[in-house]
Structures are given as structure tokens and as C-alpha cells.
Amino acid sequence: MTRAQVFQIGFIVFVLGGLGYEMFQLLGFESISAGIAAQSILILIIFAWTASYLFRVFSGNMTFMEQRKRYREAYEKLTDEKIREKFEAMTDDEKNELLKSVEEESIEQT
């Protein structure tokens, strides 16, 4: 999450608090009661958001390694497709030459 996103979320929570206060006043709450009700709703929202975040962390859906694994799978899929396209675009002679050079390299490494 970037710093700008944190500021955006903070601003949204601030605006929601003001809108909640105005809504409770329109519903007939007194000024102090409307403020307390709006704050209570915001606290419940923040607790629910925090609980959902902690659930994702402890269930393993939000860990760095899980994100890295998803990124790596997507990257490998993309590169495999590109390599396959390039290989299929080669002529038969180019394919045979490439396969021979790969075999020679694998023999040299062993």
C-alpha cells in the first residue's frame, strides 16, 4: 500500500464520519448523540476491516511469500507462452540447430 493510498483511506474515513454525523442529525439525534453514533459506526467499520486483514494474514492469503508465489506463477506462464511462440515460429532447421546446441550444453555441464 502506498503512502497516497493511506492518505486516501484516511480522507475517506474522515468524510464518512462527517456524513454519518449529518445523517444521524437528520434522523433526529441530538448533536452529541449523533457524534457518538457516527464514531461508534466508524469504530465498528475499522474493527471489521482490521479483523478481515488479520484473518487474511493468519490464513496465509496475505503473506509476502504468497504474493511472490502468485507473481512468479504469472511470470513463468507469460514467459513460457512467449518462448513457445518463438519456438513455433522457427523453421525446422532452426529448431534442430537449437536442440543440438542445448544438448551440447547439457553434456558439457555434466
Q: Which three cell numbers stand for residue 7?
A: 492518505
The CA distance from 110 to 70, in Å, is 33
Percent of the chain with pLDDT over 90: 53
Q: Which three cell numbers stand for residue 45?
A: 467499520
Going from N- to C-terminal start, the domains of the chain cover 1-60, 63-110
Q: What end-to-end distance do the CA atoms of the chain give, in Å?
A: 46
Average pLDDT over every residue of 78-91: 92
Average pLDDT over every residue of 9-33: 92
29-73 per-position pLDDT tens digit: 999 999 999 999 999 988 998 998 888 878 877 677 778 888 999
Q: Which three cell numbers stand for residue 93?
A: 532447421
Statement: residue 4 has pLDDT above 80: yes
Cell 476491516 belongs to 49
Residue 62 contacts residue 53 (beta carbons within 8 Å): yes
